[in-house]
A and B are shown apart, each in its own frame.
Chain A
Amino acid sequence: MTKSNSFFLVFSYFLSVALVRTRLFFMLGVSIFFMPAQAQQNEVSDQNSVRSPVVQFHAWGGSAQVNGYIQWVSEQVHTQYNITLNHVKLADTSDAVSRVLAEKAAGNDSQGSVNLIWINGENFAAMQRNGLLLEDWVNSLPNFALTNPSRNPAMITDFGIPTHGQEAPWGKASMVFYYNSRFVQQPPLNLPELLRFAKDHVGRFTYPLPNDYLGISFLKYAAIALNEKDRDLLYQPVTKTALAHITQALWRYLDELHPLMYKQGEYMVRQASQLQRLMGTGELLLAFSFTAAEIPSAVNRFDLPESIRTYAMEDGSLANVHFIGITYNTESVTAAKQVVNFLLSPQAQAKKQQLAVWGDDSVLDFSMLSASEKALFKPAAKHTAALDTQKAVPLFAEPHSSWTDALRQAWFLRYGERF
């Protein structure tokens, strides 16, 4: 009998025994597949403890600039701290949120697959509510002091909710509009002009669904701008009467706008990035963004035509801060904190602000920086498609976070359950 025959003899003995006892059979089946993968897994984590801790950074991955910047960060933390930072590119941040929740549900409280997470106000509120974030760690970061939180309350409040040290500020943004100057001479400078623009250029403007961050931001901007007199209602927790009052003007406006939009408002894009794509192919003539810098760099990458110009609406511009959180079930908390501290360093913040890299505004307070650190932030040459930063525009603060859900639900109730 040859060697292979005797191997098969042993193997088939196991299987025929198993056939008689079905339960054993399934266990054997499972263990056959489980063993190699399990062994591999152990090997990896052993290596980690000896060599370098691994930090899983879950962040939206739809922008080449942001991805490139995070790539640079992971190279830096690898050389400086020997940390392996892995960027998990999300199409939608809520995927990661539900992942952490599923882990909590399954009782995995110490070896989460999500470590760092880039969140906005709403996902933060959801994670905080469900206890998915590590608590009170931000104040222990040396570089956090550079944001001067006592003078800038925006660094410790996220959509009106105190952060309680559960997330560290990463960048700042305000809403800008951009248009194709080849077809549009005079872009609209306020909401009434936007409606007139839509009448002149039917089908060439749209906004994303309110599930999208930029979509709900547009609704907030419109709600604030259309309710000049009762604006303070938006900065208190929402009530039924306040909602009815605020939405009155909003619905009147949107009822008129929707039929003039892309696809008569019947189809609305799911993600902000699709707006830029449609601007690039010429199907839209006017769009908006929360990252002014992504527009000139998109032109540099040929994704937007050279005739694109960026500007801010004169009636006001919605502004907010975005944050990084650490999940409660992160294994190597020290490494995760080291990464966040690096993200807040003048070196990393200055790199992020460079137009060629990402162009995201720094969260550091310049009065806290030394002269040499300030020099890192020197401005680059002016780009034709870049926002003119000399013009002062009123900045609208984010409404109280309870308005986000209320506005969105009211919108879906009025314009249909869209996904």
Chain B
Amino acid sequence: MAVFQHITQSVRVLLIALLSVPVFAGLVGVVLPAFGYFPALNAFDFNLGVFKHLFALESIVNMTLLSLLTGLIATALSVASAFLLLSVFYRSSYLNRLQSWLSPLLVLPHAAAAIALLFVLSPSGLLASVVSNAVSVFSSGAENLSNTQNVLPPSWEFPYDRFGISIIVALALKELPFVFLIAVSVLSQPQVKRKFDGYFNSATALGYAPVTVFFKAIFPVVYSQVRLPLLAVLAYATANVEIPLLLGPNNPPTLAVAVVQWFNHVDLSMRFQASAAALLQVVVTLIAIGIWLIGENIIERVQGRFYTNGSRYTGQMFASFVAYSVVASYSLLALSIIISTTLWSVATFWTFPTLLPEGFTLLHWKTTLSALAEPVKNTVLLATFVSAFSVLIATLALEAEALNRQDNKRSEYFNRWVGGVLASTLFLPLLVPGVAFLYGLVWFQLTYFNDAVWLHLFISHLVYVLPYVFISLAVAYRKFEPRYIQVAYGMGKSPWQVFVHIKLPLLFAPLLVAFALGVAISFSQYLPTVLSTGGRIATVTTEAVAAASGSSVRLTAVYVLVQIFMPLVGFVLAWWLPTICFNPMGRYTLLRPRKSKL
């Protein structure tokens, strides 16, 4: 076996280690204090006292239920609407356009999304202003408009409502693009696509409506392939911190928010409780996954009749209605977010319910930009290194997989085993709640390499960036036309030469997209950054969350815009560069299939 193959195989194992070691080390650092062992606080006895204390809390049931239900409902909503969208648009020319519109939302950090929703949906937001103006116009005629001078913002439930509906709305809005794009990426794999085209043609010939074809023939296949990413979404939704922190109730909050608050509590003995609660969070996430799987099972049992009932138009009306309303509300929301955030960032005085500020100023931009030079530098530097490293590792690991597929004689058992472990390890950092392992990881980092701040930061970002980069690249790698490689081998080229001279140039566009995605994921990390550096290295996102806890709506708006803008630069570069260098595949947008021939 050539040297190059050895390297790729080793990198594949390295990838597993890079993802699993930090997560498991972090979990150990949380499990020990949860069972009463924490040398720093002179606690050496293992016992269950911490858990007893945790379960004695009056609000623990509420917190647990809030985490569980908001996560489950939000995920169910986003999955349902994503597939309804897909069922209506999967054969339509709008599909590509939808993808390009939804891709930027994918890279919008959760914190920024939550803050942006506040601008639109809070009682003094754009929506309330529009409603209030409309009401006054309709009730008293346009000439009395000056009466709106002394109108107070209404008191409605969003945000901070006690049932977590605000959290559900924000999570569902944020997760829908992810679910949609993952499903589209499966649909656009050439071999899958060929199969589905066949299904579609036969079913249409039998008189089935396109939406019904989707649900009866295509959905079951697509769903089984996107299951793991969906579970990652669910895990994230039950354990995420930023959105419930910014939009959720606090009497009580979700469990993940409570964990963070307890870990940061002045009273250090709260760390025991925090660790125990972090483990409880893992259990909550597992329960959510369990409920999801049971739900799948139930649907599987009852679906048999649905497939064979012969009805040709099931869901046609409903799906179209939902899909168009989702598209309409998304467009409206995106538009109003952009308008109101931009206006706030340049507003002087702005009294409810007037639709425009009294004047415009660049003061807030000046204040922010002068403070942002250092964080922007840190953010860009870190994201570039983490993402470049991830792309390198992911490419080599995928190359190992491809090489294994070619000669499956050698060490087949080992390779298949590694492949299996790799597939599940990829989702490990996405399935284990960040609040559960990051605190433990920090403990290890402090104990062993306290000075290597950038290293800690690098590793905690890598854990989140690497899986996404790998998944994004894997799609392109598996779509790669094998005949190019066969021809090159036929001419006597080595795997290394094929890799460098054929694959890399042809994959230039997806490599750049994966790199941009990695950069965007790194940009958006809040908890890993704060915890692993202890605030010594500020990034744009940590500054933005600090600003969101500050007193100025206007400065927050500037931060949100900077957060939207930065990852976009990466993606624009990723779309534009391939049009000028190595251009065999042409413009390649995120996960976009080549134009359908049908």
Contact = CB atoms under 8 A, between A and B. Distances in A.
Given A26-B17, A37-B454, A41-B451, A417 B7 contact: no
A164 interface: no
Interface in B494-516: 496
B455 A33 contact: yes
Nearest to A273: B551
A153 interface: no
Contacts, number: 218
B553 A91 contact: no
A337 B534 CA distance: 23
Contacts of A64: 367, 550, 552, 555
Given A12-B3, A88-B535, A282-B153, A63 B550 contact: yes
A62 B549 contact: yes
Contacts of A71: 371
Contact of B264 (A56, A95, A267, A274): A95
Contacts of B329: none
B252 interface: yes
Contacts of A104: 40
Contacts of A16: 6, 10
A183 B551 contact: no
A282 B549 contact: no
A327 to B, nearest CB: 12
Contacts of A204: 152
Nearest to A9: B3
A90 B267 CA distance: 18
Contacts of B124: 281-283
A418 B549 contact: no
B534 A113 contact: yes
Contacts of B252: 416-419
Interface string A310-335: 00000000000000000000000000
Max chain B C-beta neighbours (<10 A), residue from A16, A91, A114, A273: A91
A276 B452 contact: no
A223 to B, nearest CB: 21
A306 B458 CA distance: 46
B249 interface: yes
Interface stretch (B90-98, B134-142, B184-192, B348-356): B348-356
8 contacts: A12-B6, A15-B6, A64-B550, A89-B535, A266-B162, A266-B249, A277-B550, A418-B251
Nearest to B547: A62
A281 B153 contact: yes
B37 interface: no
A125 to B, nearest CB: 9
A182 interface: yes
Given A5-B3, A88-B536, A294-B551, 10 more contacts: A25-B17, A37-B453, A37-B455, A56-B536, A89-B538, A102-B442, A282-B152, A283-B122, A302-B554, A419-B253
A58 B546 CA distance: 14
Contact of B536 (A26, A113, A298): A113
Interface residues of B, number: 80
Interface string B17-61: 110010000000000000000011100000000000000011100
A418 B39 CA distance: 29
Nearest to B530: A95
A29 B21 CA distance: 11
Max chain B C-beta neighbours (<10 A), residue from A103, A302, A416: A302
A107 B447 CA distance: 7
Contacts of A56: 536
A401 interface: no
A94 B265 contact: yes
A71 B371 CA distance: 9
Q: How large is the interface on A (under 10, 10 to 19, 20 to 34, 35 or more residues)?
A: 35 or more
Nearest to A2: B496
B264 A92 contact: yes
Nearest to A285: B152
A195 to B, nearest CB: 19
Nearest to B253: A419
A31 to B, nearest CB: 11
A307 B493 CA distance: 78
Contacts of A102: 40, 442-443, 446
A277 B553 contact: yes
Interface in A92-113: 92, 94-99, 101-108, 111, 113
B266 A11 contact: no
B7 A11 contact: yes
A67 interface: yes
Interface string B107-138: 00000000000000011100000000000000
B250 interface: yes
Nearest to A276: B551
Contacts of A96: 534-535
A62 B250 contact: no
Interface string A57-90: 0100111100100010000000000000000111
B193 to A, nearest CB: 37
B452 A37 contact: yes
A317 B558 CA distance: 36
B10 A19 contact: yes
Contacts of A263: 155, 160
Interface string A241-277: 0000000000000000000001100111011011011
Interface of A: 5, 8-9, 11-12, 15-16, 18-19, 25-26, 29, 33-34, 37-38, 40-41, 56, 58, 61-64, 67, 71, 88-92, 94-99, 101-108, 111, 113-114, 122-123, 126, 130, 182-183, 203-204, 209, 262-263, 266-268, 270-271, 273-274, 276-277, 280-283, 285, 294, 298, 301-303, 305-306, 416-419
Contacts of B496: 5
A280 B446 contact: no
A416 B351 contact: no
Nearest to A275: B551
A281 B118 CA distance: 11
Interface string B338-380: 0000000001111110000000010110010001000000000
B542 to A, nearest CB: 8
Contacts of B58: 416-417
B318 interface: no
A163 to B, nearest CB: 18
A26 B546 contact: no
A12 B14 CA distance: 12
B543 interface: yes
A16 B18 CA distance: 17
B428 interface: no
A183 B162 CA distance: 29
Contacts of B553: 277, 280-281, 303
B322 interface: no
A29 B549 contact: no
Given A8-B7, A37-B452, A101 B268 contact: yes
A266 B161 CA distance: 9
Contact of B266 (A89, A94, A209, A306): A94
Identify the 9 closest CB pairs spanning chains A and B, nearest first.
A105-B40, A37-B455, A62-B550, A15-B10, A281-B124, A276-B551, A267-B160, A273-B551, A12-B6
Contacts of A88: 535-536, 538
B69 interface: no
Contacts of B447: 106-107
A298 B552 CA distance: 8
A91 B245 CA distance: 13
